[in-house]
Chain A
Amino acid sequence: MKEVLKKLQTMFNITDVEQQRENLAFIFVAKETATSVITHLKDYEGYKHLVLLTAVDWIEQNKFQLTYLLNNPESKSDIGVKVLIDRGNSEMESIHHLWKQAKTYQRELREMFGINFPGSPKVDEPFILEGWDGLPPYRRDFDTKKYSEETYFPRPGRSTNDPAAYMKQKLYPNE
């Protein structure tokens, strides 16, 4: 895996490499070169299994981090390609042409984080949520407590009794 990382560093100008384990590394890639890096890893370096595609919301920096985790079944190693994109107008190139399951991940990210992947099949159709028109719920600024208080009518609590007073009233009603 070290040769692959070295090659990537010279080819795509990658400076940020974190070696988490012997067979797992994370690299930061610019948004413009991300698809080229992923395609290169898939077609020439044997990283042909897309393990997952997900997003992390770094609201303090006003960025979304997309993580493409790629696995090489022969060398048994993983490379996580991380891309930072703006939170405001979040958009990313689609990779549905590389893996068939990528369209499902992208559809979910569109729904849960509001990240657009233009050209990805069915990306605008609801996947898990139906009829949702508010803020995408997996963003950090989505307030779950406020949402549930507004959506579901608060139920009154059960009526409670002081046990001592209740038993006294039961046992000695005339006193």
Chain B
Amino acid sequence: MDLSSHKFLKIWHGPQHPGITGNMSLELTLLGDEVMDCETHVGYLHRGFEKLMERRKYIQCFPLVCRIAVPEPDYNEYCFAAGVEELSGIKIPETAEWIRTLVLEMARLQSYLMWIGGQAGAFGQGIIGQWSNYCRDLVLDRFEELTGGRIYHMFIIPGGVRGLLPDGFEKRMEETLQIIEGFMKDIKRVMFDNAVFKKRSVGMGVIKKEWINQYGITGPNARAAGVVLDVRKDYPYLKYNELDFEPVSDTFSDIYNRANVRRRDILLSIDLIRQILSKMDNKGDIKAMTPNVLHWKVPAGETYIRSECTRGEFGYYMVSDGTEYPRRVNVRGPSYTHAVSLLEDMIINENIADVAGLMVSLHTYPPEIER
């Protein structure tokens, strides 16, 4: 591209830009207001987690892993704990499995509620973000009474969980879910039936079906295109095989349908939380016997643990060499493919005004890319 011809304009979209998801930036080359070329730049919050973990014992890694993905730390905790347990051959008690499932669904609910505000905000509907953040705060209140923390919970520990549900938790959770359901009806009417939102999002930012395997797309981005990939259903972990649900999907992956899939996923999460609370028994052991955590030598071996986070397949590849320290931990975040190779290709020929909405509709988080 001949930049000296003065036909093109190069601008930086981010890292300080309200329409960008987190600390990353897009280097855009524009012709008029049309994007001709795009390059993703990351590295603004690289903290070297994978390297740090090589110098820490397994129990010291446990409060570290949740920092990798800020809005939903619980998937990191689960994958790390499950990896350590699988390599050590530890089976966790049933109550702990139920509580883990509950925590993961609550994490999904609060992360989606934060996302829906961002998606509406990118198209100029600020009020949705205020409603959904109020709802998210209520879920965080439940997290606080269950785990003691609002954002980072450090609740899923290798070997089990840290505690049982507090007294009256089910009742307060039900009240929270009813409030969220009420707001979701309003959000459906104000956002999804809104002519402005439809006009901006229908037919925009299409992910073609054949791209799903070419780019390694997972989660709602793939499900909206009709490729039903859901780790909860395909590779049932924890107690998901005892829950009754069908993964949400659609037929055409544009911004509107992806948003709609995620909205229906919120309703599914609410349903799953109700199922979990009605089926689980809040008593008994919550932690399996583990070796002394300060001298815990995990047998040599390697494994890959996956779970379904709000953006797709979230996995941990763990290698142990039989010592007290992990040899290598590699985090597979769905944003790695969504925000770099996919975004760079699908943004071409879009309007500069739609870049923010398109990015948010892929639901990306930079910390997963840099780890």
Please report A residues at the B interface, Cβ cutoff 8 Å: 18, 20-21, 23-24, 26, 48-52, 54, 56-57, 67, 69, 73, 76, 78, 80, 99-101, 103-105, 126-130, 137-138, 140, 142, 144
| Contact A51 B332, beta carbon cutoff 8 Å | yes
CA distance A110 to B328 in the complex (A): 17
- Residues in B neighbouring A73, C-beta threshold 8 A: 213, 229, 234
CA distance A128 to B317 in the complex (A): 20
Q: Can you name the residue of chain B whose Cβ is closest to the Cβ of A142?
A: B51
CA distance A138 to B337 in the complex (A): 21
Q: Can you name the residue of chain A whose Cβ is closest to the Cβ of B332?
A: A52
Residue B336 is within 8 A (CB to CB) of chain A in the complex: yes
| Contact A130 B213, beta carbon cutoff 8 Å | no
Additional A-B contacts beyond A23-B235, A103-B341, A138-B51 (15; CB < 8 A): A20-B303, A20-B304, A21-B86, A54-B317, A56-B327, A67-B302, A73-B213, A73-B229, A76-B235, A80-B302, A101-B336, A104-B336, A104-B337, A127-B42, A130-B43
A152 to chain B, nearest CB (A): 14
- Residues in A neighbouring B166, C-beta threshold 8 A: none
Chain B interface, >50% SS class: mixed
CA distance A128 to B302 in the complex (A): 26
CA distance A34 to B304 in the complex (A): 20
Our pick among B86, B216, B328 for the contact of A49 (Cβ within 8 Å) is B216
Offer 21 A-B interface pairs, CB within 8 angstroms, sorted by A: A20-B301, A20-B302, A20-B304, A21-B303, A51-B216, A51-B313, A51-B332, A52-B315, A52-B317, A54-B328, A56-B327, A73-B213, A78-B304, A80-B302, A99-B214, A100-B342, A101-B216, A101-B337, A103-B341, A137-B51, A140-B54
CA distance A143 to B284 in the complex (A): 46
- Residues in B neighbouring A49, C-beta threshold 8 A: 213, 216
| Contact A129 B216, beta carbon cutoff 8 Å | no
Q: Which of B319-345 contact A (CB under 8 A)?
A: 319, 327-328, 330, 332, 336-337, 340-342, 345
Residue B200 is within 8 A (CB to CB) of chain A in the complex: no
| Contact A144 B330, beta carbon cutoff 8 Å | no
Q: Can you name the residue of chain B whose Cβ is closest to the Cβ of A48?
A: B213
Q: Beta-carbon contacts of B241-262 to A below 8 Å, as 1s and 0s? A: 0000000000000000000000
Our pick among B86, B215, B302 for the contact of A26 (Cβ within 8 Å) is B302
Residue B48 is within 8 A (CB to CB) of chain A in the complex: yes
- Residues in A neighbouring B313, C-beta threshold 8 A: 51
B368 to chain A, nearest CB (A): 12
- Residues in B neighbouring A23, C-beta threshold 8 A: 235
| Given A49-B213, A129-B43, A100:B304 Cβ within 8 A | no
B335 to chain A, nearest CB (A): 11
Q: Can you name the residue of chain B whose Cβ is closest to the Cβ of A26?
A: B302
CA distance A76 to B340 in the complex (A): 26
- Residues in A neighbouring B341, C-beta threshold 8 A: 100-101, 103-104
- Residues in B neighbouring A127, C-beta threshold 8 A: 42-43
| Contact A138 B303, beta carbon cutoff 8 Å | no
A42 to chain B, nearest CB (A): 9
CA distance A88 to B313 in the complex (A): 34
- Residues in B neighbouring A105, C-beta threshold 8 A: 336
- Residues in B neighbouring A140, C-beta threshold 8 A: 54
Q: Which of A52, A126, A140 has the most CB of B within 10 A?
A: A52
Q: Can you name the residue of chain A whose Cβ is closest to the Cβ of B51?
A: A138
- Residues in B neighbouring A80, C-beta threshold 8 A: 302, 304
Q: Can you name the residue of chain A whose Cβ is closest to the Cβ of B371?
A: A128
Our pick among A51, A129, A137 for the contact of B304 (Cβ within 8 Å) is A51
Q: Which of B194-248 contact A (CB under 8 A)?
A: 213-216, 229, 234-235
CA distance A23 to B301 in the complex (A): 16
Residue B370 is within 8 A (CB to CB) of chain A in the complex: yes
- Residues in A neighbouring B265, C-beta threshold 8 A: none
| Contact A138 B213, beta carbon cutoff 8 Å | no
- Residues in A neighbouring B215, C-beta threshold 8 A: 99-101
- Residues in A neighbouring B317, C-beta threshold 8 A: 52, 54, 67, 69
CA distance A104 to B54 in the complex (A): 23
Q: Which of B69-97 contact A (CB under 8 A)?
A: 86
| Given A69-B317, A78-B304, A144:B43 Cβ within 8 A | no
